């Protein structure tokens, strides 16, 4: 008697819609419970006075009004945009530069590529610890060299001065993010036909002209995707800054992520933290649309 | 590139490459250099900080004996391996279904999974903390095992969809004519053919879970349940006292598993990274 049931089950599994539904279910369940639900819950929490461990009630735009009247929040907005724009620009420029350098045949290509990827592979929290020590105000190797060369007359206070701290963090972020651009763009460069460059050579084009007229237009779609991804990650960065400066000195390096963590986890104000996250959404949505548009075109 | 002289090659290739490698490797040198120095040497400004005058293992000994470094490593392994397995299983099924079964809503499902890849953890940790609290998973490693797949599944699914796409449809059709069921085709034909893709996906999952920071920081407060990066920073920095030597030793040792996995599978890693971008 078991046979017909089994046969019916087997037949049901041949139905693509049913099987498709079954196959997608685990992934969707995970994403619904731990991603989609928290995503919308987060938006809602921004409109409540929830504190850790206790349900809050709806308070309208109070959190947002409070933040807009908070100078610390505006400093955070400034920092986040400065950090994102500068770091992404530098990563793109340096990353494309390295990709162009690597786009040729040479002996240890595999090894060099593996080395280039290292900063991206090593856990960010751990490289952040390393930068933290490298930026020490008394024992930094960078200061030591510059001092011995006579370029500075006292050791640089990397993390104690607001602007120094901002640029130090940008440098660390750039260091970590360059490999992503390089490897991504390198894949695009390898698909460009060498004949294009040969034709340009015959016309006597300079290296720069070749880069501007051939390379850049051809990698633009890929560059747009890589840049959009990187913008999302940089804009939503947390760990690098949290480990190295915790947003200090005096809030000079707080970005959205660190400020919301401080208000929500250290301060217990979930509602306010969530409201800060909500302010990130418009920028994130723009980046998502950009990456989506170009990824589609590549199909 | 024909007729490039040696000088041209030097300017266009060797010098820029050397500068880049210096920039990318310098922090690692600084880290390794610190690990094998004694405190006396580290804090003596008269000595050249880029050279180890009397190498010592005292920082590593401090890390191994005076902190619960191995416990943190074990925690990180536990979380990384379990979340990788969960994510891999879910992604394989989902990617195959979206790419090959072509059921009614397969396209929108694919788009939704891609979109979820772009939601950063930074905006999710507060509401997730709330959910974790309600599920009574606070301060438990299971909170990480269950939440890490949220950023692993979208990426893996995306990656594996590319691999499934590259397998000719004819193979499936032949098997179907021979009377093989769809489930059988999936397990006996598709999966073995996708082994390189599965390997890339697994490497990505493992390294991403190993590197995760914000959830582990937000959901775990018990020292014995911390993952490596969190444990190091909270236990080796006490107020104003920074144990730089052991900290660097910890950063170095905790990077080793990831670096090992990576060095064995670097080709898969690069293929996965670029494959995912091109899809």
Q: In angstroms, rounded to a whole number, what is the distance separating the alpha carbons of residues A285 and A90?
A: 23
* Whole-number pLDDT of residue B175: 82
Could you tell me which of B149, B123, B258, B128 has the C-alpha nearest to residue A37? B128
| Bridge partners, residue A48, by sequence | A58
Question: For residue B128, which residues of chain A lie inside 8 Å, CB to CB?
Answer: 34, 38
Q: In angstroms, rounded to a whole number, what is the distance separating the alpha carbons of residues A297 and A107?
A: 35
How many percent of chain A have pLDDT more than 90?
Answer: 31
Contacts 24+ apart (CB under 8 A), A10-18: A10/B181, A13/B181, A13/B182, A13/B183, A14/B181, A14/B182, A16/B101, A16/B102, A16/B103, A16/B182, A17/B101, A17/B103, A17/B104
Q: What tens digit of pLDDT does each residue of B12-49 get?
A: 888 989 999 999 999 988 888 888 888 777 777 777 77
Q: Is B146 an 8 Å CB contact of chain A? A: yes
**In chain A, whose CA is at the least distance from the CA of B180?**
A14
Q: What is the ipTM of this complex?
A: 0.87
Q: Are A134 and B46 in contact (CB under 8 A)?
A: no
* Whole-number pLDDT of residue A3: 63
Q: In angstroms, rounded to a whole number, what is the distance separating the alpha carbons of residues A269 and A98?
A: 44
Q: State the residue for tokens 């879970």.
A: B209
Mean pLDDT of the A46-56 span? 82
Distances (CA, A) of B5 to A208, A219, A242, B1: 18, 28, 48, 10
Q: What tens digit of pLDDT does each residue of A120-132 get?
A: 888 888 889 889 8
* Whole-number pLDDT of residue B42: 77
The rounded mean pLDDT for chain B is 85
pLDDT at A253 over 90: yes
Q: Is B251 an 8 Å CB contact of chain A? A: yes
Q: Can you say whether residue B202 is alpha, beta or left, with left for phi > 0 and alpha for psi between -120 and 50 degrees? A: alpha
For testing contact with chain B, the best of A108, A124, A133, A284 (most B CBs within 10 A) = A133
- Going by C-beta distance under 8 Å and a sequence separation of 6 or more, which residues neighbour residue B232? A125, A126, A129, B67, B69, B72, B247, B250, B251, B254
Q: Which CATH code, of 3.50.50.60, 1.10.3720.10, 2.60.40.10, 2.60.120.10, is assigned to A70-298? A: 1.10.3720.10
Q: Where are the domains of chain A?
A: 70-298
Is A281 in contact with B113 (Cβ distance < 8 A)?
no
Q: Say whether domain B68-278 belongs to CATH 3.40.30.10.
A: no
Query: To the nearest whole angstrom, how far is the Cα of A188 from the nearest Cα of chain B?
Result: 9
Tell me the pLDDT band of A2, cut-offs 50, 70 and 90.
Answer: low
Q: In angstroms, rounded to a whole number, what is the distance separating the alpha carbons of residues A168 and A277?
A: 24
pLDDT at A95 over 90: yes
Count of other CB atoms within 10 angstroms of residue B169: 9
Q: Is A139 an 8 Å CB contact of chain B? A: yes
Q: What tens digit of pLDDT does each residue of B182-231 get?
A: 888 888 888 888 888 888 889 889 988 988 999 999 999 888 899 998 88
CB burial readout A115-141, b (16+ within 10 A) else e = bbbbbbbbbbbbbbbbbbbbbbeebbb
Could you tell me which of A248, A247, A256 has the C-alpha nearest to residue A276? A256
**pTM for this predicted structure:** 0.89
The rounded mean pLDDT for chain A is 87
Nearest Cβ partner of B255 from A126, A180, A261? A126
Tokens coding B13: 């290739």
Q: Is A103 an 8 Å CB contact of chain B? A: no
| Bridge partners, residue B241, by sequence | B238
pLDDT at B101 over 90: no
Q: In angstroms, rounded to a whole number, what is the distance separating the alpha carbons of residues A121 and B28?
A: 12
pLDDT at B106 over 80: no
**Least trusted range by pLDDT, from A256-260, B135-139, B266-270:** B266-270
Q: What tens digit of pLDDT does each residue of B218-265 get?
A: 999 888 899 998 888 888 887 777 888 888 888 888 888 888 888 777
Tokens coding A70: 């908070």
Q: What tens digit of pLDDT does each residue of A200-245 get?
A: 888 888 888 888 888 888 888 889 888 988 999 999 999 999 999 9
Tokens coding B188: 């006996």
Tokens coding A252: 């000079």
Q: In terms of C-beta density within 10 A (0-12 exposed, 13-18 middle, 19 or more buried), how is residue A16 classed? A: middle
Q: Can you say whether residue A126 is alpha, beta or left, with left for phi > 0 and alpha for psi between -120 and 50 degrees? A: alpha
pLDDT at A299 over 50: no
Could you tell me which of B273, B258, B222 has the C-alpha nearest to residue B72? B222
Is A24 in contact with B120 (Cβ distance < 8 A)?
no
Distances (CA, A) of A219 to A207, A287, A297, B25, B269: 16, 18, 13, 27, 21
């Amino acid at each position: 008697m078991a046979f017909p049931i089994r046969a019916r089950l087997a037949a049901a599994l041949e139905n693509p819609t049913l099987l498709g539904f079954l196959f997608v279910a685990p992934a969707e369940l995970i994403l619904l419970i731990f991603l989609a639900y928290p995503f919308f819950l987060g938006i809602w929490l921004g409109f409540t006075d929830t504190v850790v461990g206790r349900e809050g009630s709806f308070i309208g735009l109070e959190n947002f009004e409070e933040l807009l009247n908070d100078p610390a929040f505006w400093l955070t907005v400034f920092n986040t945009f400065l950090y994102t724009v500068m770091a992404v620009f530098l990563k793109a420029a340096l990353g494309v530069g390295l990709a162009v350098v690597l786009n040729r045949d040479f002996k240890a290509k595999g090894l060099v590529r593996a080395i280039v990827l290292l900063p991206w592979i090593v856990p960010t929290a751990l490289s952040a610890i390393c930068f933290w020590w490298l930026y020490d105000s008394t024992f930094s190797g960078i200061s030591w060299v510059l001092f011995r060369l006579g370029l500075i007359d006292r050791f640089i206070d990397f993390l104690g001065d607001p602007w120094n701290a901002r640029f130090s963090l940008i440098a660390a972020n750039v260091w970590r993010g360059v490999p992503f651009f390089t490897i991504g763009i390198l894949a695009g460069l390898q698909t460009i036909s060498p004949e294009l460059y040969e034709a340009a050579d015959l016309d006597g084009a300079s290296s720069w002209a070749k880069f501007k007229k051939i390379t850049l237009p051809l990698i633009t779609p890929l560059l747009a995707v890589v840049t959009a991804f990187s913008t999302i990650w940089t804009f939503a960065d947390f760990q690098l800054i949290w480990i190295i400066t915790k947003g200090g000195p005096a809030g000079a390096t707080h970005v959205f992520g660190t400020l919301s963590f401080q208000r929500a986890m250290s301060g217990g104000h979930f509602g306010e933290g969530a409201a800060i996250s909500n302010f990130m959404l418009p920028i994130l949505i723009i980046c998502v649309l950009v990456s989506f548009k170009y990824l589609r075109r590549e199909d | 590139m024909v007729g490039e002289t040696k000088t041209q090659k030097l300017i266009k290739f060797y010098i820029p490459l050397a500068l880049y490698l210096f920039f990318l490797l310098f922090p690692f040198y600084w880290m390794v250099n610190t690990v094998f120095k004694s405190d006396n040497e580290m804090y003596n400004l008269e000595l050249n900080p880029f050279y180890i005058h009397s190498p010592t293992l005292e920082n590593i000994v401090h890390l191994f004996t005076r902190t619960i470094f191995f416990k943190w490593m074990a925690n990180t392994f536990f979380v990384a391996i379990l979340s990788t397995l969960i994510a891999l299983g879910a992604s394989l099924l989902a990617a195959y279904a979206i790419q090959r079964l072509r059921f009614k809503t397969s396209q929108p499902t694919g788009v939704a999974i891609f979109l979820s890849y772009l939601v950063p953890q930074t905006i999710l940790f507060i509401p997730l903390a709330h959910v974790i609290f309600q599920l009574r998973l606070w301060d438990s490693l299971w909170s990480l095992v269950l939440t890490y797949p949220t950023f692993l599944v979208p990426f893996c699914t995306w990656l594996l969809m590319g691999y499934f796409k590259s397998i000719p449809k004819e193979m499936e059709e032949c098997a179907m004519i021979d009377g093989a069921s769809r489930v059988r085709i999936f397990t006996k034909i598709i999966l073995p053919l996708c082994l390189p893709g599965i390997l890339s996906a697994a490497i990505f999952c493992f390294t991403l879970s190993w590197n995760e920071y914000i959830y582990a920081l937000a959901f775990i407060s018990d020292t014995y349940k911390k993952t490596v990066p969190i444990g190091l920073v909270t236990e080796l920095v006490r107020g104003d006292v920074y144990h730089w030597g052991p900290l660097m030793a910890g950063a170095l040792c905790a990077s080793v598993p990831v670096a090992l996995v990576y060095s064995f599978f670097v080709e898969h890693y690069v293929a996965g990274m670029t494959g995912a971008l091109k899809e």
